[in-house]
Amino acid sequence: MSGHPTYQPQGALMKWVERRLPIGGLIHSSFVAYPTPRNLNYWWTFGGILSFMLGVQIITGIVLAMHYTPHVDFAFKSVETIMRDVNYGWLLRYLHANGSAMFFLAVYVHMFRGMYYGSYKEPRELLWILGVILYLLMMATGFMGYVLPWGQMSFWAATVITNLFSAIPIIGESVVTFLWGGYSVGNPTLNRFYSLHYLLPFVIAGVVVLHIWALHVVGQNNPTGIEPKSEKDTLAFTPYATVKDSFLMVCFCIVLAWFVFYLPNFMGHADNYIPANPAVTPTHIVPEWYYLPFYAILRAIPNKLMGVTALLASIVILAFLPWLDTSKVRSARYRPVYRQFFWLFVVVCIGLGWLGAKPAEGGYVIASRILTFYYFAHFLIVLPLLGIFEKTKPLPNSISESVLGKAKAGAAALALAVALGASMTPQAAQAQGHDVAQPPQLKWSFSGPFGKYNQAQLQRGFKIYREVCANCHSLELLSFRNLAEDGGPGYSPAQAATVAAEAKIKDGPNDAGEMFERAGRPADRFPAPFPNDAAARAANGGSLPPDLSVIAKARTYERGFPWFVIDMFTQYQEQGPDYIAALVKGYEEPPKSMNMPAGMSFNKYFPGHMIGMAAPLQAGQVTFDDGSPATIDQYSQDISAFLMWAAEPHLNARKRLGLQVMIFLIVFAGLLYFTKKKVWSDVHA
Amino acid sequence: MTTVSSAEHTRRDFLYIATGAVGAVGAAAALVPLIAQMNPDASTIAAGAPIEVDLSPITEGQVIKVFWRGKPIFVGHRSKKEIAEARKVNVASLPDPQADEKRVKEGKDQWLVLIGICTHLGCIPLAHQGEYAGFFCPCHGSQYDTSGRIRSGPAPTNLPLPPYEFISDTKIRIG
């Protein structure tokens, strides 16, 4: 269904080129004259959004690759260098990280839209299968990208996912060793993941070309599911679809910008700000949210090989959808029974996602099994039978005839989401029944869209760090120069140099080949209190005082439903500082029933309650020049604010730029809305 | 009737142009971080701070190399003969005329501090070599004299001087 060959090159040069390479004609027939059904709704704009997001991911990814070091010793630090030192590095990394999540969000909308309107049916089977291949490629790319920062979640995701292959009978172990390039996940693994993570997006781009090619051969499906019959049923791609796609794309960018600028770590895991440690698995490992339903299916089945097979089958089964659905009618609009089963299926997928994030125990496992069974039943039982037994509604004669009727799918989706949310609340609250106390939510100067650090507070916090924390804890990602940088405690370069000069830095070798100590310079990093981890453990009764550079982002506490949804709108991102502030004052007498080993203290906020650090702050321990009270309450907030700055030094710049970007996007979206209305006015008239 | 339709036209055109312009501004602004990230990052800039060099161990006739901002800096302790040779030449006849006095600090004639990068295409010249016993670039044959001035070969200008100052008689700060 290619467009009419109406392209007439203008000017001698264009004519010269067109005779030799008809690229102008190709672009014109594909993206200008290409006829689109006139009744496409906004769910159809997600294909364009996905192309846009692929572009965003490739561009930000190429740029990040210019600064990233794929080596187990440097990967984590190079990512932190991007966040701290590279110009706009924090923006590029947050765009890339949140962009991947938004990419998956868009692909899920796109897939569910295809399912609702039967876009996979004859003659679009191959188009759909190419889509399933794209989705698999996206999953592989997303997974390998998640490994690259080499935090705890990266490392253990790499371990768990590659171990899926060990389920293969006989050759499983050899396959896993082959994937790792070693006897465990290590440097060769990281290197090959980096290489493949760079390669796969271009493979995706190639398959996208095939996907769009196939689309342009068979034409777009539409909400009625009947093919366009005359010119009256279609509109030219440009300007009609272009302006409509652009409008929703900008709206989508507003959501993306909301996360990038205000909730950049909302969809990530705090544990991934802890450098990879092959000796310790995080207590609660879950994949990124977009893999959760499949993770739930994996865990629902108590047999290793069967679990992995079910996981794979749950994705591969999508490719067979065109033949499993036996109904002759495409759109759910004219399939009243299928429509209900479709929404049930959506709920099941979301439910599986929720279960995937829960611990694999008790009722959760039983629920996972039920939903897993239903997931497969939808494809293998419901769809084949519906085609036979369902009584469909009469189809309209043409698209233009149906334009008068409007779908209410959006409202139904919203109602379902609300119902789902409500149904989850009590269960979630039940799951919250851990005995670890919830840190109280404090007021922070840097919270909310207009928040910024309080310089005096950061200076007080730094004083506490220097006089108390620095005796045991390193701050190795920070340099003395950071103290004088924009958005920080606001010291002058001379003051930062003075602080630096008071530190002893190991340097060398000198001309005689010997190491020596010299006074610190602003460019030096904060020296660690102990020469190595073993020394730090030995001096602290066997416990390793963690580095504090990113601790405010590496610590969190479980928010649970519905709070994590509400947090999205209130921009609550201060779990880390809240936890730290609570922890440093959370010391109590241990309950009688608890047997405390020597050197351990009881802390009501610390997971497990047994903490190796004795109560670190006593009232009066640090005196402030600005007359702030020398109380533990004051200390706990100041040190937490300081550590938040240490973990996120560009927060001020981030929120300032975020406001500008938000204003721009809202104005742009408004203009596009009116442009769209104008362009479409003659269609609706 | 025609006036109404042309006013309508103008309003529509204005909307289209405004939307296009805002979009173009956004696209241009999005390029800023993508381009700015190529510039040296904050740690590189901080590491490019001035360095201090102790001159006391450098014996007469010796040229040492130190690194500042990743560039080799030649610090030479010139002999009387080398200074005399650098000063007897007719400055106007040089390809890049500059008096030797202008290339050293006053009263510190013996200390020659140069960025040791050939001005032709960036190779490192060898000290005490070539026709003028100054510096000779092995890549494409540029010859520099004992003041680091270009005398023959493809290099267009003299070896540049880094910013530096004497903080004592035996110590300089480069940068």
pLDDT of residue A364: 94
Chain A partners within 8 Å of B18 (Cβ): 671
Q: What residue in A sits closest to B14 (Cα-Cα)?
A: A675
Predicted confidence at residue B4, as pLDDT, reads 53
* Tens digit of each residue's pLDDT (9 = 90 or more) over A373-390: 999 999 999 999 999 999
**Pairwise CA distance, residues A374 & A430, whole Å:** 25
Residue A464 CA to residue A445 CA, distance in Å, equals 19
Residues of chain B found within 8 Å of residue A246, distances taken between Cβ atoms? 23
Sequence-separated (6 or more) residues with CB below 8 Å from residue A441: A572, A574, A578
Average pLDDT over residues B57-68: 94
Substitution target in A67, A88, A94, A486 with the highest count of B β-carbons within 10 Å is A88
Give the mean pLDDT of chain A: 92
CATH number of the domain encompassing residue A245: 1.20.810.10
Closest alpha carbon within chain B to A63? B34
- Same domain membership, residue A52 and residue A166: yes
Q: What is the pLDDT of residues A311-369, one digit of tens each?
A: 999 999 999 999 999 999 999 999 999 999 999 999 999 999 999 999 888 899 999 99
Q: Which residue has the tokens 């609570």?
A: A582
Is some CB atom of chain A closer than 8 A to the CB atom of B5?
no
Q: Quick one: A386 and A451 in the same domain?
A: no
- Using a CB–CB cutoff of 8 Å, tell me whether B31 touches chain A: no
Q: Do A603 and A435 form a contact (C-beta atoms < 8 A)?
A: no
* A281 plus A300 within the same structural domain: no
Report CA torsion sign: B26, B27, B33, B35. negative
Let me know whether A106 and A251 are in one domain: yes
A384 alpha-carbon distance from chain centroid: 35
pLDDT digits (tens, 9 = 90+) for A543-563: 999 999 999 999 999 888 889
Choosing from A224, A252, A285, the residue where a domain stops is A285
Q: Quick one: A540 and A624 in the same domain?
A: yes
Q: Which amino acid is at B49?
A: A
Q: Given pLDDT bands bounded at 50, 70 and 90, which one contains residue A416? A: low
Please check whether residue B30 touches A, CB under 8 A. Answer: no
A404 falls in which pLDDT band (50, 70, 90)?
low
Residue A178 located in a structural domain: yes
Domain boundary among A285, A301, A336: A285
The pLDDT of residue A2? 42
Task: Tell me the average pLDDT across A394-400.
Answer: 90
B44: nearest CA in chain A?
A85
- What confidence score (pLDDT) does residue A644 get? 98
Asked whether residue A449 is domain-assigned, the answer is yes
pLDDT band at A276 (very low <50, low <70, confident <90, very high): very high
pLDDT in tens, A116-155: 999 999 999 999 999 999 999 999 999 999 999 999 999 9
- Smallest CA–CA distance, residue A589 to chain B, in Å, is 46
CB contact under 8 A, A63 and B39: no
Interface of A with B (CB under 8 A): 59, 63, 66-67, 81, 84-89, 91-92, 246, 479, 481, 485, 511, 521-523, 664-665, 667-668, 671-672, 674-675, 678
Measure in Å the smallest separation between the Cα of B136 and chain A Cα atoms.
27
On whether any CB of chain A is under 8 Å from the CB of B56, the answer is: no
Check pLDDT > 70 for residue A412: no
CB B46 within 8 A of CB A479: yes
pLDDT score recorded for residue A249: 97
Is there a single domain that holds both residue A19 and residue A51? no
* Length reported for chain A: 685
**Domain membership flag for residue A126:** yes
| Contact (Cβ atoms closer than 8 angstroms) between residue A552 and residue A639 | no
Cβ neighbours of A169 (radius 10 Å): 6
Do A146 and A182 have their domain in common?
A: yes
Q: Same domain, yes or no, for A255 and A369?
A: no
In a domain, A304, yes or no: yes
- For the question of an ipTM over 0.95, the answer is no
The pLDDT score that the predictor gives to residue A473 is 97
**What are the DSSP calls for A190-245, one per residue?**
HHHHHHHHHHHHHHHHHHHHHHHHHHHHH----TT-S---SGGGEEEIIIIIHHHH
Residues A163 and A281 in one domain: yes
Q: What pLDDT is attached to residue A435?
A: 66
Looking at chain B, the whole-number percentage of residues with pLDDT higher than 70 is 97
Q: Do A521 and B49 touch (CB under 8 A)?
A: yes
CATH number at residue A302: 1.10.287.980
Share of chain A above pLDDT 90, in %: 86
Give the range of the structural domain holding residue A420, as residue numbers without chain letter. Answer: 288-394+412-431
- pLDDT at position A488 is 95
- The pLDDT assigned to B10 comes to 85
Return the residue in B9, B41, B44, B45 with the most chain A beta carbons within 10 A, the one to mutate for interface testing.
B41
Q: What is the pLDDT of residues B16-25, one digit of tens each?
A: 999 999 999 9
A5: how many CB neighbours lie within 10 A of its CB? 11
Beta carbons of A521 and B37 less than 8 Å apart: no
pLDDT band at residue A231 under the 50/70/90 scheme:
confident
- pLDDT tens per residue, range B151-164: 999 999 999 999 99
What's the CA gap between A342 and A116, in Å, rounded?
A: 7
Whether pLDDT at A424 is above 80: no
Residues of B annotated as catalytic are 140
At residue A415, the pLDDT reads 55
Q: Write down the pLDDT at residue A538.
A: 94
Q: Is residue A265 part of a domain?
A: yes
Contact in structure between A143 and A157 (CB atoms under 8 Å): yes
How far away is chain B from the Cα of A351, in angstroms, using its nearest Cα?
A: 38
Domain assignment present for A500? no
Domain boundaries, chain B: 1-39, 46-174
pLDDT of residue B1: 40
Q: What is the dihedral angle through the alpha carbons of A675, A680, A681, A685, rounded to the nearest 10 degrees?
A: -170
Q: What is the pLDDT of residues B116-152, one digit of tens each?
A: 999 999 999 999 999 999 999 999 999 999 999 999 9
Instruction: Report CB contact under 8 Å: B41, A674.
Output: no
User: For residue B54, what are the β-bridge partners?
Assistant: B171
Q: How confident is the model at residue A285 (pLDDT cuts 50, 70, 90)?
A: confident
Are B43 and A523 in contact (CB < 8 Å)? yes
Note whether A329 and A185 are same-domain residues.
no
Contacts of A605-608 with CB under 8 Å at 24 or more apart are A605/A436, A605/A437, A605/A439, A605/A557, A605/A579, A606/A436, A607/A283, A607/A436
For the domain that residue A462 is a member of, what is the CATH number?
Answer: 1.10.760.10
Helix H or strand E encompassing B128: strand B126-129
Q: How confident is the model at residue A682 (pLDDT cuts 50, 70, 90)?
A: confident
- Say if CB B149 and CB B160 are below 8 A apart: no
**By the 8 A CB rule, do A2 and A29 touch?**
yes
Q: Which of A255, A285, A315 is a domain's end point?
A: A285
Cβ-Cβ contacts under 8 Å, B23 against chain A: 246, 668
Residue A505, helix vs strand vs coil: strand
Amino acid at site B40: P
Nearest chain A residue (CA) to B40:
A86
Amino acid at B35: I
Would you tell me which CATH number, out of the four given (3.30.365.10, 2.40.30.10, 2.102.10.10, 3.40.50.1820), belongs to the domain B46-174? Answer: 2.102.10.10
pLDDT in tens, A456-477: 999 999 999 999 999 999 999 9
Q: Supply the angle between the helices A292-300 and A336-356 in degrees, to the nearest 10.
A: 80
What pLDDT sits at residue B5? 67
Question: Which tens digit of pLDDT belongs to each residue from A570-623?
Answer: 999 999 999 999 999 999 999 888 888 888 999 999 998 999 999 999 999 999
Split at pLDDT 50, 70, 90, the class of A425 is very low
Residues A16 and A67 in one domain: no
- Same domain (yes/no): A155, A80: yes
Q: Report the run of H or E that residue A106 belongs to, with start and end.
A: helix A89-116
Indicate the pLDDT class of residue A508, thresholds 50, 70 and 90: confident
Question: Which pLDDT band holds residue A498 (cuts at 50, 70, 90)?
Answer: very high
Is residue A520 one of the residues assigned to a domain? Answer: no
Going by DSSP bridges, is the β-strand pair B63-68/B71-77 parallel, antiparallel, or unpaired? antiparallel
Q: Per the structure, how many domains does chain A have?
A: 4
> Is A187's pLDDT higher than 80?
yes
pLDDT at position A487 over 80: yes
A636 in a domain, yes or no?
Answer: yes
